[in-house]
Amino acid sequence: PHARACKLRGGSTHLRRSMESVRSNLSASAGGARKVAAEPCKPEILQTSKTVDLRGLVVDPGAGHAEGDAPAALGSDLHPSAADDDAAAKGAPVESVETQSAAVSDSTTPPALEEDEFSEGYECLNAGGSEAASQMEVADGKTPPPAKILPDCLLRTNFSALRFRKSCYFDATVRHGVQGFVPYNHMLLPIGFSSPEDEYCSLCNDVCLWDVAAERQVELAGADALKLAEMLTPRPLAAMKIGECRYAMITDEAGKVLNDPIVLKLADDRYWFSLADSDLLLWIKGLAVAHQFSVCVTEPAVSPLAVQGPKSLALMRDLFGEWVETIKFYHFREVELDGIPMLLARSGWSPERGYELYLQDESRGDELWERIMEAGKKYFIQPGVPNQIRRMEGGLLSYGSDVTCEHNVLELGLPAKWCSPDKAADFVGKQTLQSLIAEGSPRRLVVGLEFRSGGTSDLGPGPLFKPWSVRTASVKEAIGFVTSVCFSPAIGAHIAIATLDIEASAPGTVVTVDTARSGPWEAVVQKLPFLPRKA
């Protein structure tokens, strides 16, 4: 279905117009079309006589990771959800979703936006312009609603200031045509190189290279490293082996989610927490000081690159050797490439097969980027960013969007062993979660929605500037809200991720979503993921 989705010319009106709407948010790269499957991934673009020059902000996913055969896994930025730990340890095939709080799109700076199109591409899309632009008529004679126009203060927001750190791949991403950045963990995270649909095609058919250095690490090193690590999460970590990764939710005293990192065990007294977008370093330092743990808590100079897509294995074999195929899902190995030190992990914020390279010498970031791009030419490698369309199809939740510090960990639909208050070791929020379960929690769940055909606009439900209310026929009040929406080429429909009251969360339940463009639109609750992971 993905190869077929790339041939957009003969597609449905929803697919063509929705993709055009997304494309209007990012200018096309100058590299020209590349062959994907039998035809280039080059949809027809809706042409208009006028364009408005904009610098918009597109807020999207946090960064996150997840592993497991859970109905859904979080994804802040870059990591997927893994299969059952025991099955993975035994080398059994993994058929679950991945997630990472890694971060992938949070915001974007599109250079131009066609007046008659409002984007609905990533999690929170933006259709903006100056006050004068808001008065211009679109092709059909209608005036865009003022609420969908960005104020001048946002247009003038400066994200190039020194307070936003640049990754060691920054110069390389600029050379290769990055179209904008979003602040993430006090760094700049790329938000696109071509268009979401072109990057979707590359991810589904070939291989992509992502700068995810904004997925920062917090290192715990010392005699009490494991004690502190266990205190942070309801996920048991004591049985982890050196070279293993594990998706772990971080909870506060109320059982609410503070982050959803991937934990990597480098030694018996050394762990990395690979973070989504939040200042978790300060929280961890505070706990270490308060409990007088013998541990050093730091942010090491480590900058991950993600290599994702079905041809990622072949590329990694070319670079590192045949042994790469033996790395199990959510495991890593310390390696070197031309003397460049890194950890090579089989993980990533995508339902496709993929790897993450945790660079440990940031002075060689540019060199590593170009080395991978050169080796990947025969596999049609393209620079890109974590793709929101594909991550939603795979049920990967975005920390900061689909999951926030207002969600308790029981509401995410994760396997019980990942978030059970029955864990032997103590952790922050343990007693609260025990009380919540005794009281009947969870009272709501994060679920998927598939929109039915027949909306009032052939352009789709519209831009998601703020959460859309969800209702049922029997309840007039809102019973939940939508946090992510996109058109899925593989499914052939608009899909969304939402938080709903438990009474309306069963798969097959019909709900009504108050969309931005099309008003009330029926959707059906789906179990996440929408599609299984491919490798």
Is 75 contained in some domain? no
In the chain, the amino acid numbered 444 is R
pLDDT in tens, 237-249: 999 999 999 999 9
pLDDT in tens, 355-412: 999 999 999 999 999 999 999 999 999 999 999 999 999 999 999 999 999 999 999 9
Burial class (CB in 10 A: 0-12, 13-18, 19+), 509: middle
Domain with 202, as residue range(s), is 152-214+303-390
Q: Is the pLDDT of residue 100 over 50?
A: no
Say if residue 423 is in the same domain as residue 403: yes
The predicted model gives 45-72 an average pLDDT of 35
Say if residue 283 is in the same domain as residue 237: yes
Say if residue 371 is in the same domain as residue 402: no
Say if residue 418 is in the same domain as residue 500: yes
Name the percent of the chain lying above pLDDT 70: 70
Say if residue 436 is in the same domain as residue 512: yes
Say if residue 308 is in the same domain as residue 207: yes
Q: What is the CATH number of the domain that holds 359?
A: 3.30.1360.120
DSSP category for residue 452: P
Query: Tokens in use for 24?
Result: 């209007």
Q: Model-level pTM?
A: 0.77
Q: Among 345, 369, 390, which residue terminates a domain?
A: 390
Is 284 contained in some domain? yes
**What is the bridge-based pairing of β-strands 112-114 and 332-337?**
unpaired
pLDDT given for residue 154 in this prediction: 66
Is 173 contained in some domain? yes
Total of domains in the chain = 3
Contact criterion met (CB below 8 Å) for 85 and 347: no
In the chain, the amino acid numbered 81 is S
Q: Among 298, 330, 365, which residue terminates a domain?
A: 298
Say if residue 229 is in the same domain as residue 362: no
Say if residue 313 is in the same domain as residue 453: no
Contact criterion met (CB below 8 Å) for 394 and 351: yes
Is 96 contained in some domain? no
Say if residue 208 is in the same domain as residue 276: no
* Dihedral sign from CA coordinates of 102, 107, 108, 113: positive
Say if residue 436 is in the same domain as residue 511: yes
Say if residue 197 is in the same domain as residue 255: no
Is 381 contained in some domain? yes
What is the distance between the alpha carbons of residues 59 and 337, in angstroms, rounded to a whole number?
Answer: 35
Is 351 contained in some domain? yes
Per the rule left: phi > 0, alpha: psi between -120 and 50, beta: everything else, 186 is left
Q: Among 247, 266, 298, which residue terminates a domain?
A: 298
Q: Is the pLDDT of residue 281 over 50?
A: yes
